[in-house]
C-alpha cells in the first residue's frame, strides 16, 4: 500500500467489480476541482469518439490539485510546475449535477477500455519507481482482492499495461518517466 492518500481520481473498468461499485466515478460535492486532468491525447481520442465536447470541462490549476499531483508524482515537481502553471487551466471529465461522471451509466463506465482516459484504466493501481501498488483509497476491488495479483486481475490489468498507461500519462505532461532498475 502507498504511504499517501490522494483524493479521488476518477477511474475504473466498466465490468465486474467496478460496475457494482462506481465509487471513483462519482464525486462528492466540492471534489470537482480534484478530478484527474486529461491529456491532449485523451481529449483528442474522446472528441473523435463522441463528436461533441459536453463530456469535458475546463478546470483551474488549483493549489489543491497540484498538491494531489505532487503526491502522485513525487519525483516530478519541476515537470508538474511546467505542465500545470498556476493561473492556467486544464481539461477534465465533466461531472453531472449528482456527481456522476458524464460517462457513467447504469452498468458502469460507458466507454470502451481503449477510449477510457489512461488514469481511469489505472486506478486504483499506481507506479512508484519499480513498485506497482494500490493507492490508499476506498475501493471495492481492493477490499475484495486477496492480493495484488487478484486486484490486477479484477481490473483487467497486468504489469506491462500498468507501465504503459503510467508512461503515457508521464509523456503527455512531459514528466520524467519511471525506469526499471
Ligand atoms: S472498485 Fe475501485 S476502481 Fe472500481 S469503481 Fe470502485 S473505486 Fe473505482
Ligand atoms: S470515464 Fe468511465 S471510468 Fe473514467 S470516471 Fe468516467 S465513468 Fe469512470
User: Looking at residue 181, what is its pLDDT?
Assistant: 65
Q: Which domain covers residue 164, as residue numbers?
A: 17-173
109 Cβ neighbours under 8 A, 6+ residues apart: 12, 13, 14, 18, 25, 101, 103, 116, 120
Encode 83-111: b = buried (16+ Cβ within 10 Å), e = exposed. Answer: bbeeeeebbbbbbeeeebbbbbeeebbeb
- Tally of helices (H runs) and strands (E runs) in the chain: 8, 6
- Residue 68 CA, ligand 1 centroid: distance in Å: 19
Q: Is position 38 within any domain? A: yes
Q: Is position 10 within any domain? A: no
Q: Is position 181 within any domain? A: no
- Residue 98 CA, ligand 1 centroid: distance in Å: 18
Q: Is position 9 within any domain? A: no
* Total number of domains constituting the chain: 1
**How confident is residue 85, by pLDDT bands cut at 50, 70 and 90?**
very high
Model pLDDT for residues 112-150, shown as the tens digit of each residue: 999 999 999 999 999 998 899 999 999 999 999 999 999
Model pLDDT for residues 39-78, shown as the tens digit of each residue: 999 999 999 988 777 999 999 999 999 999 999 999 999 9
pLDDT of residue 29 exceeding 90: no
Q: Is position 112 within any domain? A: yes
User: Looking at residue 30, what is its pLDDT?
Assistant: 85
Answer for the pair 95, 102: CB distance below 8 angstroms, yes or no: yes
* Residue of 31, 36, 117, 122 to mutate, ligand 2, most atoms within 8 A of C-beta: 117
User: Looking at residue 13, what is its pLDDT?
Assistant: 42
Amino acid at each position: 500500500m502507498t504511504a499517501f492518500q490522494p483524493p479521488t481520481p476518477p477511474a475504473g473498468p466498466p465490468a465486474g467489480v467496478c460496475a457494482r461499485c462506481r465509487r471513483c466515478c462519482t464525486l462528492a460535492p466540492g471534489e470537482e476541482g480534484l478530478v484527474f486532468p486529461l491529456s491532449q491525447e485523451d481529449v483528442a481520442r474522446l472528441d473523435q469518439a463522441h463528436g461533441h465536447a459536453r463530456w469535458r470541462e475546463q478546470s483551474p490549476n488549483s493549489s489543491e490539485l497540484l498538491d494531489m499531483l505532487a503526491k502522485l508524482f513525487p519525483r516530478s515537481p519541476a515537470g508538474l510546475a511546467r505542465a500545470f502553471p498556476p493561473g492556467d487551466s486544464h481539461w477534465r471529465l465533466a461531472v453531472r449535477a449528482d456527481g456522476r461522471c458524464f460517462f457513467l451509466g447504469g452498468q458502469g463506465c460507458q466507454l470502451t477500455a481503449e477510449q477510457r482516459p489512461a488514469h481511469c484504466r489505472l486506478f486504483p493501481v499506481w507506479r512508484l519507481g519499480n513498485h506497482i501498488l494500490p493507492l490508499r483509497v476506498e475501493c471495492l476491488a481492493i477490499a475484495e482482492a486477496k492480493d495484488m495479483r487478484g486486484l490486477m486481475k479484477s481490473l483487467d490489468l497486468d504489469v506491462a499495461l500498468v507501465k504503459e498507461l503510467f508512461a503515457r500519462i508521464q509523456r503527455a505532461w512531459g514528466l520524467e518517466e519511471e525506469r526499471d532498475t
